[in-house]
Amino acid sequence: MGSILSILSSWIITLTAKLKLLRSGLKEKHVDIVVKPSDPPIRAHYLERKSKGGEHTKDLLLIPGFTATGDLILSDLVWALKPNVPEGWRIIVMELPLHGKNICNFDGKFPDFEEMKDYLWAFIQAVGMGKNDGVPLSLCGYSLGGNPCLRVLHEHPNSIDKVVLIAPAFPETRKPNFIEMGLEDPRKIHCWQNLEDVRHFGKAVAGCHDGHLMMYTAILLGMVRQRSEQYGKAYEGNFFAEYASATGMLEKESTESSNTNPLDPSRLNKIRNPLLLIVGDRDACISPQTCQTLIAEAIDSCTVCELSDTGHYAGPANSPDSNIFYESAPAIGKFLFP
């Protein structure tokens, strides 16, 4: 029975992702990018919502978090923003390297934070963004996606207009108990592989509760099946545990030098681009207070929006568990589309 439920649930999750893309106006696309001149081209998959009214005059690039795919996660934000997006805005949701369909590029090496930044910048160039050709580019990074987002801003401030960071994940901003949990058993955070793991993840990390749609056993079985099918074929061990280890995201503090650490105060003090920092007061992963102390207080152009009764992700609209994307959409719309 469990196998049948997981197959059915997996099919429902796939259908849900398709419906989310349809309602958001997003379409699946891909582009070949070259991250380093010495490397061969690789195929990067992404989602795009073309501008209304013809040629686009502004760009918005959304970067998901660790293990999160754009179709199921950031399509929520695109849909929530959709009624307020002015004509001329093109919206693209990229996938992090080795996430979703980008698993096809796995060659046995996981990227670190700096390599994620290089991947993001190569992608930006490949899709024709950030060229200073009169089309302003704004970035929005969620959770781990905020890390390469801020790194690109440091290196290419003149190519970026505005930046939104939603619950940004850095070694310095994560809660101590979240790090300890990851060190003890990575499967209890984003690296889940079975029903027990993902049930714990839903309650302790994503912010869902028993009885919520995301906590139904059938749905969780489908999520486990999909992850096993997608990533298990490429890697025999725990794919995302190795990924987390390679990035250093389970380190208790950053080991980077001041030249590469995106949260180095001397680097943050130089930022002049308008930046919106969004945090949830019930976030189990990221400390909203630490985010404000390390990021907002170091950047004069930073605005903070703290969402009440909101965790790191949680459930769909009209659920008892506030969805951080639906809750943050009004503030993001006001910030990006004044």
Flag whether pLDDT at 54 surpasses 80.
no
Beta strand ranges found along the chain (DSSP E): 27-33, 42-49, 58-63, 89-94, 137-142, 163-166, 275-280, 302-307
Flag whether pLDDT at 130 surpasses 90.
no
Is the pLDDT higher at 215 or at 90?
Answer: 90
Q: What confidence tier does 316 reach under pLDDT thresholds 50, 70, 90? A: low
Q: What confidence tier does 330 reach under pLDDT thresholds 50, 70, 90? A: very high
| pLDDT of res. 258 | 83
Q: What is the pTM of this model?
A: 0.95
Q: pLDDT of 18-46, one tens digit each?
A: 999 999 999 999 999 999 988 899 999 99
| pLDDT of res. 251 | 78
What is the rounded distance in angstroms from the CA atom of residue 227 to the CA atom of residue 249? 21
Q: pLDDT of 72-124, one tens digit each?
A: 899 999 999 999 999 999 999 999 999 999 998 898 899 999 999 999 999 99
Q: Residue 126 contacts by C-beta under 8 Å, 6 or more apart in sequence?
A: 31, 32, 33, 34, 44
Q: Residue 267 contacts by C-beta under 8 Å, 6 or more apart in sequence?
A: 154, 258, 261
Question: How far is residue 134 CA from its own chain's centroid?
Answer: 27
| pLDDT of res. 236 | 84
Flag whether pLDDT at 237 surpasses 90.
no
| pLDDT of res. 317 | 61
- Within 10 angstroms of residue 260's Cβ, the number of other Cβ atoms is 14
Q: pLDDT of 133-163, one tens digit each?
A: 789 999 999 999 999 999 999 999 999 999 9
Domains within the chain, CATH numbers bracketed:
2-336 (3.40.50.1820)
Residues in a beta bridge with 31: 44
User: DSSP class of residue 187?
Assistant: G
- Give me the chain's average pLDDT, please: 91
- Start-to-end C-alpha separation, the chain: 52
**What average pLDDT does this structure show over 251-268?**
87
Q: What confidence tier does 255 reach under pLDDT thresholds 50, 70, 90? A: confident
